[in-house]
Structure formats: structure tokens, C-alpha cells
Structure 1
Amino acid sequence: MKSLELKIPPVVVLVIAALAMWAVARLFPTPLIVFPGAVWLVGSITFIGCCIVFLGVWGFGKAGTTVDPRAPDKSEKLVVSGIYRFSRNPMYLVFLLLLCSWSLKLGSALGLLFLPLFALYMNRFQIIPEERWMHNKFGESYQKYKSQVRRWI
């Protein structure tokens, strides 16, 4: 299992989960998730997600450090400002929000089952290994940050 750590780019995991949600929605039609304002909710979640991704990438760029989550050893600085004051992993949070939005768009109740699976996968194979690297590289600074800011939200 350790061989999967930091190997699959998170955006690929996102696409795989989204495709699996689509396939489940088509193969196993369930009662649709329909409610007034669903289109607005999907659009709002997507818009907010895009804003958070922009702020996350901008924060890394401003600090002059890598945005490649598969190479935490290339991190030059610990980014703790901006959006990173609220979440240690805002871009993974956005991916989760986008999958939620996608499930609502598909109208598939079964699609919602992929949300915890995505979060569990990301925690085990991406976030925890990243946290080990950050702890080894930034030591006490990272421990302090970790104690003050939650992993997701």
C-alpha cells in the first residue's frame, strides 16, 4: 500500500472518482436528488471551488514554492497565510466540493458514496505522506501550524 503514496496526481484521483460517479449514475439509476435551486447550488459550489483553487495556487506562487503535491520534498517554504490559515489542504477540499457538486449535477444519490471514499483515499495516500514530509522538513514550525489549522476545514 505504501507504494501508492504520492504516486497518483490528486487531479487524476478526482477525474477517476468523477468518472466512477458518472458510471454508477448510469448503471444504477437511483431516485434523483432534485430540489429547487439545485442548479444554483451546483454553480455556487463550483464557483467557490475555483476561487479557493486560485487562492491556493496563488499562495504557493507568492511564497515561491512548488504546487506539485507529489513532490513535497521540493517545498521551499511552509505556506501558512492566505487560504492556508483556514485549511491545510484547501485544494483537496475543493476537489471534494467539486465531487459533491458533480453528484448533485448527476442527480445520483449513489454518487454521494464516493465522497467519503475520496476523502479516505486522499487522507491515506496523499495527505498523511505529505504531512510526514512537512514535519521532517519544517519541524516545530509545521507542528505549530498543524495544531492551529485543520486538515480539511
Structure 2
Amino acid sequence: MKLKVPPPLVLIVAVTMTYAAASWFPGLTFKFPGQFVLAAILFFLGLIPDVLALLTFFRKKTTVNPMTPEKSTTLVTDGIYRISRNPMYLGLLFLLVAASLYFSSFLSILIIPAFIWYLTEFQIKPEEESLKRVFGDAYEVYMKKVRRWV
């Protein structure tokens, strides 16, 4: 698999775009009561699946590097992986939504779906192909049981 951009870097780019959109187009921003509290809640909710996923990977002693899924030694299907095949990316999505609320840009309506599309096409789908090669039928069965995002 030839992945070039680590997902955390994709998040940083998307957050930077959200900040830039709010800075460059201040007329396209919004404010509402409790906005920053909601952003903080979403931020911390985004950390939960990331931490749980990392702990599960460490417990199973398999790679957490999303750039080399072919080095996976164990198919992780328990814990948070019973809910989502990609809880780390789901956590990143929550962090992006939190940043979008914090920076208040309506243009986030474009950035968030672009982030989801990019991760799905250039990270998740190639990962799935690698994991099919490594784990075969077991991964196919897992894919039928658990959704890609949620």
C-alpha cells in the first residue's frame, strides 16, 4: 500500500483550512450560546475512540501505524472495534467537528465531508484491501458485521 499522508496530518490540514476559512471569510462565521462548550465536549468525545483503539492495539501487540496495515499481526475485532472498523478516524472526525465549531466557519460544511471522503478513499479503502490480503475471510466476515465508520 502506498499511503503518503498520515491521517493525523490530514486532520491538521483540515483544521488549518477551517481556521483559514474563518479568518479569511469572517462574514461566513456563526455564533450561538454554548458553542465553545459543545466544541470542548466534542473534542473530548473525539479523544475517547482514539485512546480506546490505541489501548486495544497495544494490548493485542499489533501495529498502530496506519501507513503499514500489512504489518498487522492480529485482526482486532473486540472492544471499540465491535462498533466501528475505524474508531481512530471517527475520533479524528469528532476533533475536526470540534475545531469547526470553535472556529465558527460555515465553510466547514464543505471541509468536513471532504475530510470524510479523503480518508475513506485514500486511507480506509486501501487499508481494507491490505487487511483482506493479510486476514482473508476473517476480515471479510468482520466487514459484513461492523460498519466502516459507525
2:93 counterpart of 1:96: yes
Structure 2 residue corresponding to 1:80, chosen from 66, 77, 81: 77
Separation in 2 of the partners of 1:148 and 1:53?
21
2:122 counterpart of 1:130: no
Report if the CA contact (8 A) 2:28-2:107 is conserved: no
Q: Specify the alignment match of 1:120 in structure 2.
A: 117
Corresponding residue SS for 2:136:
helix
Separation in 2 of the partners of 1:77 and 1:7?
24
Q: Specify the alignment match of 2:16 in structure 1.
A: 19
TM-score normalised to the size of structure 1?
0.93
Structure 2 residue corresponding to 1:10, chosen from 7, 10, 20: 7
Q: Specify the alignment match of 1:32 in structure 2.
A: 29
Which digits, 9 at most, give the CA deviation of each residue in 1:106-150, with x for residues without a partner? 111112310010011101110000000111111111011100100
Structure 2 residue corresponding to 1:64, chosen from 61, 66, 74: 61
Report if the CA contact (8 A) 1:56-1:83 is conserved: yes
Counterparts in 2 of 1:20 and 1:37: CA distance versus 1, 3 Å? same
TM-score normalised to the size of structure 2?
0.95
Give the residue type in structure 2 aligned to 1:113: L
**Over aligned residue pairs, what C-alpha RMSD do you find?**
1.3
Corresponding residue SS for 1:122:
helix
Which digits, 9 at most, give the CA deviation of each residue in 1:73-132, with x for residues without a partner? 110000000111100001111111111110110111112310010011101110000000
Runs of 4+ in structure 1 displaced over 3 angstroms?
none
Q: How far apart are 1:31 and its partner, in Å? A: 4.0
Separation in 1 of the partners of 2:27 and 2:3?
34
Show structure 1 runs of 5+ residues with no match. Answer: none
Report if the CA contact (8 A) 2:22-2:28 is conserved: no
Separation in 2 of the partners of 1:147 and 1:50?
26
Which digits, 9 at most, give the CA deviation of each residue in 1:50-94, with x for residues without a partner? 121110100100111000000011100000001111000011111
